[in-house]
Structure 1
Amino acid sequence: MPRTLRKTIFWLKDWIKGSKVRKHYEAIEKINDDHESDHSVREREKYLSEILRHCIDTVPYYRKLGITDTKLDKFPVVDKNLIRAHSNLFRSEAYADKKTFKATTSGSTGTPFTVLHNVDKKRRHTADVHFFWESVGHAWGTKFFYLKIWNAQNSKSQLTKKMQNIVPIDVFKLDDDKIKALLDSVKTDTSPKSILGYASALDRIVKYLERNPTDMSKANVISIIAMSESLDGPTKKTLGAYFNCPVVSRYANLENGMFAQQTSWSGNDFLVNLASYHIEILDLHENIPVKEGEMGRIVVTDLFNRAMPIIRYDTGDLGILGKSEKNGKTHQVFQKIEGRKMDAIYNTKGEVVSSFTITNSMWKYIELAQYQFIQMSRKEYKFKLNAVEKFQREKELIEEFIGYLGEDAKIHVTYVDEVPLLSSGKRKKVLNTMKVTKKGFSPS
């Protein structure tokens, strides 16, 4: 089925049902076009006031707290553990007998976390995905190769794959043979297509291409989108050169949806989806806003989930929020997203070291198929290395990272056949397994 026909069928079905997704899409497009326009500010304030009033009136958790004021700072900051422990209290009584959809994620811990979405929230999410796909030139209905862990729980039927034009690629044990087969499939398929996948899988593909140069510039790839993990700058640049297309990162989660994405015009900044979420950047240890340009905890309020409202939700990620001025329009952007705060790395003085310092520094070690960097204690670190051949630069690697971490850093190196998967099916390049305190690190 041609992509234009898929797109026509989708919007025709939506029109028959009252153009409900179309209306969301147009609203998202208009609000995100200029975040400081009168229209954008007015609509976002209305959305926020309405969802907070809905919580006060229908959600037991907020009723028990005695909240009566629709000011956001009157609501507590919550996290996954709190909502999971009291999930029934976070469900709106107004949707007890209405149709809802489960959004379940295991996250990095493996403990399931489920949020209920109402029908209109699902429509909004669909429109969000449309908007961000099209921001990189990928029209709805265009084929895309979907690189992730595929299993019995998330597999799609043949009909669904055909209707959505998805080619699922399982990245479990993504070795050279699998990568070659993938690249051959992408080249053989002459239709326009995009690639959506874990950043770690894209990184593995780049490592393969560096060892086995392959011309992908005429493969008709429209865009490459990294999800779930941070995409290294060198990986992004090299992918763009090989495939001759925009390469961007997406910031989203399963329980909420699309928070932000780099676009074909935003460079390394992430356009924030203020049409569907209210975003706060709070201090690492207190629930107060950081100063402009400072890194803090990313806390989101979902403006459209009425079945199980998610208000001031600590995502567990760190970020820096800023503004981008373009053609007389202003956009809120994430200038940096650091990933899980539990994976922040500290030097031996207790100062935060950006995870990008680590990932970008590892780019030059092309002999490595995979790596994982772990902070085990205040001064003790470990590299797990999966080398294609015998790694001859271990001393160079250790000396480089002592420069980043401190002269008294103790860096151990172990060699593995495969960097282990998390229960979520992802691989983390940077981990911190020590106990972190408000002073930055434990005294151990």
Structure 2
Amino acid sequence: MLTSNVPGIHWPAVVGARDAAVLALLFQMESTQWLSAEVLRSRQDRQLGALLDHARRHCPFYHERLPNALASWHDIPLLTRADLQTHADAIRASAYPRAHGKTFDIATGGSTAEPVTVRRTALTQLFWQAATLRDHLWHRRDLSATMAIIRQFPQPVDSRKPGRWSGVLHSGPAWYLPIATDVEAQSRWLQEVNPDILLTYPANLDALLTHMHHEGLTLPRLREVRTVSGTVSPALRERCRQILGAPITDLYSAQEVGVIALQCPDSGLLHVQSEDLRVEVLDEQGQPCREGEVGQVVVTDLHNFAMPLVRYALRDWAEVGPTCPCGRGLPTLRRIMGRTRNMAMSPEGKRFWPVLETRRMLEVIPHLRQYQFEQTAVDSITARLVCAPAPSPEQLQRLQGALEQMLGHTYRWTWQVGDAPLPLSASGKFEEFISSIQDSGKQA
């Protein structure tokens, strides 16, 4: 249901100019999602031409960097986080169309506390809002539902005072809790709120599931868990269904560029939001990955004329998905793997993605509350465990065996056991596996 912006008019609603713009975008996107990949690409090319022309004329950083023809697209060097840190003034446009609205700056430290500031416009936020509404429509969310949101917030929030969660559309209450709240307190708060929908980070959800399973708790009204800012494994989806009886709906976004991909309501694949972004997945030679291959995610924001991000390397890795059987022409990603610093390395020096199954670890140490692994050398891993009482030497030996089965390699292990929660990253998130190995100068 829409909220009218005109006094005395309740139905049909007459919305304000900003909400009308969001709804107009959504109306178009309901049609464009069914276009073929080829037609979507041609429309992107038209918008890219306008963006690149603007960047050449108004951003010193791009004066010589951008080719005059899209045929040379793959010759454009990737824009890195270091570029944003050292050349921010030259990347920001000296002028941009007034109709794009006011500018504002978003500062993000990422998981590695390497801060960058990106200037965005009111127009870019319209696309973010339209993508969010598309997500609600795709998954047919009951707009009267109660949503509990546990994440990092840019401003202080009151966990006892609800807001609204659907933007343009009138919705049920949204309750907010900072991610820094300890898991036991989160669980108590969730019992009080008793939400229909829970939104949080995958790693935090994993910790919540462990605690609630141990305490025999559930959320009787819960219908859906929405996840953002992390990697959702098949094992996590299964644990969520077993313990909370609810499916996970994932959303892939980044503060610098907005919503990147939404989970398909039919197949579960992640649909790239091609109306707003050009997304590439590139191999280590910089070539486009094919279906089933894993590469780094590179994003171009098609509508940010205040600070154009052209071929911006997010330092995320993803697997390219197939054409979706749902019929939408939007490209797909099968899964988001994580960041380079979340990759493990074999004792022979080869990188790979670690697959850690919480269920198997709990079978060995049932009172395990939290864990984190840091690879400090090609043959060494430090394991930080939160549990009380402390595990026995026999349990640690069994856990080591289970971990080495999961990782597929043998390592030297250092165990750090305590009962205090492990700290979050500067971005308010938690990483279960970190590599601190210098790898050919590449650090994520």
Task: Tell me whether the two structures share a fold, i.e. TM-score over 0.5.
Answer: yes
Report Cα offsets for 1:38-70 as digits up to 9, x if no partner. Answer: 4x3432232223222222232221114364334
Residue 176 of structure 2 corresponds to 168
For residues 353 and 278 of structure 1, the distance between their equivalents in structure 2, rounded to whole angstroms, comes to 27
The answer to whether the 8 Å contact 1:130/1:140 transfers is: no
- Who is 2:192 aligned against? 184
Q: Which amino acid aligns with 2:340?
A: K
Equivalent residue number for residue 296 of structure 2 = 297
Asked if the contact 1:11/1:22 (under 8 Å) is kept, the reply is no
Distance (whole Å) between structure 1 residues aligned to residue 299 and residue 369 of structure 2: 35
CA shift for structure 1 position 298: 0.6
In structure 1, give the amino acid aligned to 2:177: I
**Could you tell me how far 1:290 is from its partner in structure 2?**
3.3
Runs of 4+ deviating beyond 6 Å? 7-11
Superposition pairs of residues 101-180 of structure 1, within 5 angstroms: 101-138=104-141, 142-150=145-153, 153-155=154-156, 162-164=163-165, 165-180=173-188
Secondary structure of the residue that 2:210 maps to in structure 1? helix
**DSSP-derived class of the 2:355 partner:** helix
Asked whether the equivalents of residues 157 and 177 of structure 2 are also in contact (C-alpha less than 8 Å), the reply is no
**What TM-score do the two structures reach when normalised by structure 2?**
0.85
1:231 aligns with 2:232: yes
Deviations 1:219-246 (A, max 9, x none): 1x34211111113333322323444443
More deviation in 392-401 or 340-349?
392-401
Structure 2 counterpart of 1:108, one-letter code = S
Identity among equivalent positions (%) equals: 19
Return the offset for 1:139: 5.4
Query: In structure 2, do the counterparts of structure 1 residues 125 and 377 end up closer, same or farther at CA, with 3 Å as the change threshold?
Result: same
Label 1:143 to 1:48 Cα distance change in 2 as closer, same or farther (>3 A).
farther
The secondary structure found in structure 2 opposite 1:376 is strand
- Looking at structure 2, the residues matched to 66 and 299 of structure 1 have their Cα atoms a distance apart, in angstroms, of 16
Structure 2 counterparts to residues 28-427 of structure 1, below 5 A: 28-36=29-37, 38=39, 40-65=40-65, 67-71=67-71, 72-95=73-96, 99-138=102-141, 142-150=145-153, 153-155=154-156, 162-164=163-165, 165-186=173-194, 193-216=196-219, 218-219=220-221, 221-267=222-268, 269-284=269-284, 286-357=285-356, 362=361, 364=363, 365-392=365-392, 393-405=395-407, 408-416=410-418, 417-427=420-430
1:319, distance to aligned residue in structure 2 (A) = 0.9
- 5+ residue gaps, structure 1, are 188-192
Q: How far apart in 2 are the matches of 1:75 and 1:274?
A: 20
Query: 2: CA distance between counterparts of 1:405 and 1:122?
Result: 41
The CA deviation string for residues 286-322 of structure 1, in whole angstroms up to 9 with x for no partner, is 3332344221111111111111111101001111112
| Equivalent position of 1:434 in the other structure | 437
Please, what TM-score do these two structures have when normalized by structure 1? 0.85
- In 1: Cα distance, 2:199 partner to 2:331 partner: 24
> Aligned partner of 2:136: which letter?
W
SS at match of 1:225: strand
- Relative distance call for 1:34 and 1:209 in structure 2 (3 A) is farther
How far does the alpha carbon of each residue in 1:57-100 deviate from its partner, in whole angstroms, 9 at most, with x for none? 32221114364334422422011221121111111222297621
Q: Distance in 2 between matches of 1:238 and 1:34?
A: 36
CA contact (8 A) 1:137 1:222 kept: no
Give the conservation status (yes or no) of the 8 Å contact 1:320–1:337: yes
Query: SS of the counterpart of 1:355?
Result: coil
Shift of 1:157: 8.2
User: Structure 1: how far apart are the matches of 2:199 and 2:109?
Assistant: 20
1:175 partner letter: V
Q: In structure 2, do the counterparts of structure 1 residues 142 and 124 end up closer, same or farther at CA, with 3 Å as the change threshold?
A: farther
Tell me, in whole angstroms, the C-alpha distance in 1 between the residues paired with 2:426 and 2:328: 42
Secondary structure at 2:126 match in 1: helix
Give the CA deviation at 1:184: 3.1
Give the secondary structure class of the aligned counterpart of 1:202: helix
- Residues 213 and 243, structure 2, Cα contact 8 Å, conserved in 1: no
The amino acid across from 2:413 in the alignment is: I
Query: Paired residues, what number?
Result: 425
CA contact (8 A) 2:107 2:118 kept: yes
How far apart, CA to CA, are the structure 2 residues paired with 1:294 and 1:254? 26
Write out per-residue CA displacement over residues 115-141 of structure 1, whole angstroms, 9 at most, x where no aligned residue.
111221111111111112332223567
Structure 2: runs of 5 or more not aligned: 166-172
